[in-house]
Homo-oligomer: A and B are copies of this chain.
Amino acid sequence: MEFLGELKNIGKERALINSAVSLLVWDQRTYMPEAAYEYRADAVGYLSELSFRKFVSSEMDKLLEKMEQESSKNHLSEYEEKVLRMTKYEYNIIKSLPPELLKEITIESSKTEELWSKVKNEGDFNQIKKQLGKIIELSKEIAERIGYKDNPYDALISRYEPGMTYKKLKEVMESLKTDLIPFIQEIDDSRVKTSRDLLKGRFERKALENMCKELLETIGYDFNAGRLDETVHPFTIDISHNDTRVLTKFVTDDIGPTVYSTLHEGGHALYDQGLPEDYLWTVLHDGASYGIHESQSRMMENNIGRNRFFSKYLLNILKKHFPHFNDVDHSSFYKAINHVEPSLIRIEADELTYNIHIIVRTEIEEALINSRIKVSELPELWNEKFKKYLGLFPSNDTEGILQDVHWYAGMFGYFPSYMLGNLYAAQLFNFLQHDIEDLDSLLEKGKLEKIVSWLRKNVHSKGKTIFPDELIKEVTDEELKPSYFINYVKTKFSKIYEIH
Contact = CB atoms under 8 A, between A and B. Distances in A.
Interface in A1-52: 12-13, 16-17, 19-21, 23-24, 27, 31-36, 38-40, 42-43, 46-47
Interface stretch (A131-139, A193-201, A238-246, A436-444): A238-246
Contact of A36 (B31, B32, B36, B243): B243
A17 B24 CA distance: 11
Nearest to A17: B47
Nearest to A31: B227
Chain A contact surface mostly: helix
A47 B16 contact: yes
Contacts of A243: 32-33, 35-36, 39-40
A223 to B, nearest CB: 7
Given A23-B24, A27-B23, A27-B27, A227 B16 contact: no
Contacts of A12: 42, 46
A449 to B, nearest CB: 19
Interface in A269-299: none
Nearest to A19: B43
Given A33-B227, A36-B241, 20 more contacts: A16-B42, A16-B46, A17-B46, A17-B47, A19-B39, A20-B47, A23-B24, A23-B27, A27-B27, A33-B223, A33-B225, A33-B242, A33-B245, A34-B224, A35-B225, A36-B243, A39-B240, A39-B241, A40-B240, A43-B240
Nearest to A20: B20
Nearest to A226: B33
Contacts of A240: 36, 39-40, 43
Query: What copy number does this chain have within its complex?
Result: 2
B35 A242 contact: yes
Contacts of A225: 33-36
Contacts of A36: 225, 239-243
Contacts of A24: 19-20, 23
Contact of A242 (B27, B31, B39, B245): B39
A222 B40 CA distance: 18
Nearest to A26: B27
A455 B55 CA distance: 47
Nearest to A34: B224
A229 B31 CA distance: 10
Given A23-B23, A35-B224, A39-B19, A46 B242 contact: no
A33 B224 contact: yes
A24 B38 CA distance: 19
B31 A43 contact: no
Nearest to A239: B36
Contacts of A245: 33
Nearest to A222: B35
A122 to B, nearest CB: 28
A22 to B, nearest CB: 10
Contacts of A13: 46
Nearest to A40: B240
Contacts of A242: 33, 35-36, 38-39
B20 A43 contact: yes
A12 B27 CA distance: 21
Contacts of A227: 31, 33
Nearest to A229: B31
Return the 3 tightest CB-CB contacts between A and B, nearest first. A36-B243, A39-B240, A20-B20
A19 B19 CA distance: 13
Contacts of A17: 46-47
Interface string A243-276: 1010000000000000000000000000000000
